[in-house]
Amino acid sequence: MTRVSLCLAVAAILLLLSACSQVPVASNMVPNAFSMYKRELPRSISIGKVSGNNPAFKDDKYKITDPTFKQALGDALSKSRLFQKVVYDDLSSNYILEAELVYNDKKRGFGGYPMELFVRYSLFDQINGGLKWSKDIYSYSEEGSLKGRSEQAGRANILRLIQELSQLEL
């Protein structure tokens, strides 16, 4: 093996490692503290369908995927203690929260463009039936690596969601 080939192999391994480290992690999208109007609602909420960025068709590693966001939503709602019980895909719970990752991108290259995240949330009332609440929440981040920006945008988005949910008459 020549020296050039060896250098290329090392570069390929480094690229692979850097690509792996760019994937956003659910635990980094869970807020540390919450701003809420209520806590401990005597209700249960289920995290239902999360769509928009299927990892099977994912083109960019730094984008938040559906399973990662679903996990982060569940963890954050549990940690906030807004609802008594937080579960996943349970049709017997009082409410079902669905999310659609409409847009998660950043202009790459020169220029300090922010990482932007648009999520469409829908809260369904399982007991009385129907849509209880639905909003688009936009968040952005301008600091850190692509991964860090995605995570901060996701964390801010979830923080705002929990604040909005705590204002509802549930």
Partner 1 sequence: MKDKFVRYFIPLLLFSAFVSISWAQEQALPELSLTKVSDIEVPQGFTEGLKEGSLVSTNSSLWLVAGCLFPLPGVIASAAYSPRFNPEELQRIAEVKGQSYALGYAKAYETNARNNNYQAAWNGFGIALAIVSILNSLSGLAGSASMASPDGMASSPVPLMKELRYDTR
User: Within 10 Å of residue 7's Cβ, how many Cβ atoms?
Assistant: 10
Q: Tell me how far, at minimum, the Cβ of 93 lies from partner 1, in Å.
A: 23
Q: Which of residues 77-116 bind partner 1 (CB under 8 A)?
A: 102-103, 105-111
166 touches partner 1 by CB under 8 A: no
73 touches partner 1 by CB under 8 A: no
Q: 102 is written with which tokens?
A: 């409409």
Burial of 115: CB neighbours in 10 Å, binned 0-12, 13-18, 19+: buried
Nearest to 85 by CA among 123, 45, 48: 45
Q: Which of 71, 94, 157, 166 binds partner 1 (CB under 8 A)?
A: 157
Which residues make up the interface to partner 1 (CB under 8 A)?
2, 4-5, 8, 31-35, 60, 102-103, 105-111, 118, 120, 134-141, 152-153, 155-157, 159-160, 163-164
